[in-house]
Chain A
Amino acid sequence: MVRLSRVMLKEAGNAIDKTLSEILVCPLSKQPLRVCEKTKSLVSDTIGVSFPIKDGIPCLVPKDGKILEEDGDASKAS
């Protein structure tokens, strides 16, 4: 049962486990995040930034945030 979170990451293809999805918010705006399956990232719609999920681990440091273009595509920020 407890290995479920790792199993989910590998097999079910879910981006992050249930515990994290309930408590994670954007580090800057503290607003809820949206999981984007396509880009494997967590998107903060209020400020238009996406945070990557590397190797199944969400990276929510502001420096790792990518600014999303106005039309919704992700683009690299410096």
Chain B
Amino acid sequence: MTAQEVRLCGLLLREHFGEVVEKVGTHLLKGGAQNLRTIIHETGISLDLVKKSLCVLVQHGACVFRSGRKGAGSPTEYQTCCDRILRILRYPRYIYTAKTLYGDTGELIIEELLQRGHMTMSGTIKTVADRLTQNMEEGRSMDYSEVSSAFFRLVETHFLQRCPPLAGAEPKDSATPAAPAPPGTPAAPVGVWNMLTHGDEGICWQVNFERFHLHFRDQAIISAVANKLDQTSSEIVRTMLRMSEVTTSPTATCTKPLSANEIFRSLPTSYNIPRPILDQYLTLLIDDPMEFVGKAGESGGGMYVVNMHRALANLARATLESVVQERFGSRSARIFRLLLRKRHLEQKQVEDFAMIPAKEAKDMLYTLLSQNLVQLQEIPKTPDYAPSRTFYLYTVNQLPTARMLLQNCYKTVANLVERRLFESKESKRLLEKSQRIEAILASLQASGAEPEQLTEVEEMITAPEKQQLEALRLHINKLDSAENQVDETIFLLESYINSTASTS
């Protein structure tokens, strides 16, 4: 848990749960596992508020509790982890993915579950159906069966999962990931949904972030193939990934081998490519230096796999290169790429290979070195490390550099959030005034006022104030959008780092 991560987690907790939860959460993050009395004593917050904050944190999965380490009688200890809180940045992306896959119903289900942490199935379905009914026209109402079928589909594809049972809880019948059979489908008249008769209290469902991350990873690979090669190749890769969705474990290095015949049969019918063309495309994919697809054998017309870990490593490498390019220029990026490929190079060799004059190459190398993107490795010729008799080689290590950039990303997002809070605070008076005027307008319109009254109220905001509000809104939107986009980079780098951790 680095300082940047803790700072970002604190800001996210403050925005979504309030300052009390922020204090308790950051205290837990900095201090490790603690019991209730310690938290109260060290934060100085009252007992009730600390209890409520811990309830909120546990409800949202940010905090886990277990009995104390000192033995059976010691008080329960609470522990928080950064990862779960940092996921909050990605919530809009999860909701949007659910919308693209399962429509508005799926979107609302995921949104409700993200807002509440975890809920029972009946509770979710009721809330979502009510929300949908509100947005529909008069007289129509949402059918509960439609919402519950969307719920079942989400569970079947593992986007939703059951909350893990607590250690020490009564053993319940382990329900399969497929949804438990609802005790009787709802009666024909819509609205008869007596929650008390549905015996699913205690069975809580939560969003399965790992499954969403696998989906994002697949999407990243497919779009990379589409950018590098062409649309048809990306469709082939998409087919391969879809076929191996269920058979591949999340931490696998590559998918199970698929024969070319199977791929040919599973291609979408809109892509009417003949068999030899498919073989040519597959050969192209294998020869590509990005190594998305590999050949695993010759049987069945050729066995092909998608290399997950190598694809992630290449995507992370592309991210690092683009960072260097945007910050230091394309020639520094050339040096960086050279060092990535050739591993260790001397000063002279760098100048020669990169075809950059000596003075400028020196300058760029030192800039990169001072930013810690490039490291210096000493190789002594003699045991006494004399400077005149030592080789000094420049090198780039991809994994540590990726970690460093990831921390930079966290710092960036924290800065963006702070700036946004600062901007809102500066214009607080103006924002409150505009909110009040909107409320007045709304109430006037509801009670049926004349247009002159409405314009009179609208004119209470002067023109320069309107401009100020408009500029403020633009700034805040930009900052918010930037946070979303930095989060995409965070996702790539995190996936890469996690993939190396599982293999090593």
Are these two chains actual partners, yes or no?
Answer: no
Chain B residues at the A interface, C-beta cutoff of 8 Å:
none
